Amino acid sequence: MDNLLRIIAEISGKKKEEINPVSNLNTLKISSSIGILKLQSALEREFKKKLSPLSLNMNAVMIAKQLGVKVNDNQIKAEKNVKAEKQSIKSYDVEKYKSNLVDFFLGVDIEEVENLPKAANFRTHEFYSTQFNDAELSYAMLMPDPYIHLCGMFCAKESLKKSAPELIDIPMNEIIVSHNSAKRPAIRTTHNDLNLKYQFKVSISHTEKYATATVIAIGKQNGNG
């Protein structure tokens, strides 16, 4: 558990002693998609185990269970208390929510460019080689500042994941961002069934410090548009 708390502390910029094992990652200021991916990558390297995607509402105890790390009795008790508090809140009527969904979904993401890890070689770097394909990396590397454009494409992929509910678990390397001769972006997935089900529209913007993207997923009637 000590190594887990140490890594969370390093990513959050806090001291290990300040990390409450039942505080969620968002509370610990690991609130960006890039921060979550950095944490997951660091944990998988340290513990040599593949994790299911981490989320902002997870805490150290929950992550420890995924890793098979021993948790002491006090930490387990605290986690149970947190769950009890959540269960006391009136649950949302999920089925009613689903029945009211329309076939038009919106996803938005914004990231700080400086949150991207520095790399001597994008193609061999662990983060970039798992988040982007070769064409995406090539496009960015042709630009004066590759990090700005990589951050923009990262936001676009996150925005697609945040649009329709069934898209949230798609790995980043299965989302493709391309640009035409006028440098206008387009986005799709590597899954033909999803590309037939949705028409995706993307907009990417950036400054020197921030990048943002919006994706609209429009449901196609019977997969025919």
Q: How many CB atoms lie within 10 A of CB 131?
A: 21
- Say whether pLDDT at 84 is over 90: no
C-alpha torsion sign, points 142, 147, 153, 154: positive
Q: Note down the domain range covering 214.
A: 97-223
Same domain, 163 and 193: yes
Q: What is the CATH number of the domain that holds 12?
A: 1.10.1200
Q: What is the CATH number of the domain that holds 200?
A: 3.90.470.20
CA distance 19 to 28: 8
Beta strands in the chain (DSSP E): 104-112, 175-179, 185-189, 198-206, 210-219
Same domain, 104 and 50: no
Mode of pairing for the β-strands spanning 210-219 and 104-112: antiparallel
Highest mean pLDDT among 63-67, 73-77, 153-157: 153-157
Q: What's the predicted TM-score (pTM) here?
A: 0.66
Type of residue found at 6: R
The residue with greater pLDDT, 220 or 124, is: 124
Q: Side-chain half-sphere of 175: how many Cα atoms within 13 Å?
A: 24
Same domain, 136 and 72: no
Helix (H, G, I), strand (E, B) or coil at 224: coil
Q: What is the mean pLDDT of residues 41-63?
A: 90
